[in-house]
Amino acid sequence: MRLVLLGPPGAGKGTQAVHIARAYAVPRVATGDIFRDNVSGQTSLGAEAKVYMERGDLVPDDIVIRMVTDRLERDDAVNGFLLDGFPRTVPQAVALEEYLDSVGRPLDVVVRFNVPESDIVRRIVNRRVCPVDNSVYNLDYAPPKVDEVCDLCATPLQHRQDDTEEVVLRRLEEYHAKTEDLEYFYWERGLLRDVESVGPVEEVTRRTLAVLDDLDGDPVQAPS
Ligand code: AP5
């Protein structure tokens, strides 16, 4: 399975990616996580990306494209992968398509997670993440069992620096301006499938796996 998860900030891509990657035994390649690891590791890539991430802007295409194609060269991605947060612009999508065509491994599907815009800010400002295993919590909808501590590894949870109302509104602007065009890009190629990302997390996972199990099913309508 070679798939891309698409959707605005807070749509639940990271939350669902963990379950889908496990179900299909493919690696999850999350560009946001790779950048955050580089920021905390104080690498030159991290220093470069941090400036953009703090503002809620996209990191320049050339940096991201190189990083992802290098990652997809690794052995664990040969039999499939899940891309979470990439591509995010048409040039990124074109570069990905060219790369995958060149190695004879085209995408199977692009899942678009839909969530009402009115839910997004609340989901984001109440998000907490584990810096060790990247598991995602929400103080409103999915709190950890022990206050501010990861259920899986007991590490203190973190509040992402870009999870403020001001920055998430900027990230949403970037989504509308640069990423939404990908809906048409992938619809035209017959790859786009829709999942409503509201309700219990397990229910959204069930819906997503049902869509992935039936890729010959009804295609979505043309994006407006
Ligand atoms: P990235 O880390 O990819 O952030 P994002 O796309 O803005 O996505 P989020 O992580 O905010 O949301 P999500 O959809 O994963 O939601 P989640 O599952 O956590 O990117 C960060 C930055 O890196 C970018 O701004 C950019 O600067 C840079 N970057 C990354 N990739 C790039 C690229 N390709 N090009 C250029 N720059 C790039 O869920 C959110 C919250 O909602 C959680 O608290 C969760 O518990 C809760 N939740 C999830 N599902 C539900 C549900 N069903 N009901 C209620 N709550 C739910």
- Is the distance from the beta carbon of residue 18 to the nearest atom of ligand 1 less than 6 Å? no
Q: How many CA atoms lie within 13 A of 78 on its CB side?
A: 3
pLDDT band at 215 (very low <50, low <70, confident <90, very high): confident
Q: What's the number of domains the chain is made of?
A: 1
What backbone phi and psi angles, to 5 degrees, belong to 156? -60, 135
44-89 residue pLDDT tens: 999 999 999 999 999 999 999 999 999 999 999 999 999 999 999 9
Cβ atoms 170, 55 nearer than 8 A? yes
According to DSSP, residue 113 is labeled: E
What's the CATH number where 96 sits? 3.40.50.300
Catalytic residues: 13, 88, 127, 160, 171
172, 222, 162: which is closest to 11 by C-alpha? 172
Residue 131 confidence (pLDDT): 87
Other C-beta atoms lying within 10 Å of the C-beta of residue 153: 11
In a domain, 110, yes or no: yes
pLDDT band at 38 (very low <50, low <70, confident <90, very high): very high
In a domain, 38, yes or no: yes
In a domain, 155, yes or no: yes
C-alpha–C-alpha distance, residues 193 and 221, integer Å: 9
Give the mutation target among 28, 40, 51, 58 for probing the ligand 1 site: most ligand atoms within 8 A of CB: 58
Domain that holds residue 142: 2-212
Cβ atoms 10, 123 nearer than 8 A? yes
166-201 residue pLDDT tens: 999 999 999 999 999 999 999 999 999 999 999 999
In a domain, 221, yes or no: no
- Is the distance from the beta carbon of residue 171 to the nearest atom of ligand 1 less than 6 Å? yes
Mean pLDDT score of the chain: 94
- Is the distance from the beta carbon of residue 141 to the nearest atom of ligand 1 less than 6 Å? yes
* Residue ranges of E strands in 27-79: 28-30
In a domain, 220, yes or no: no
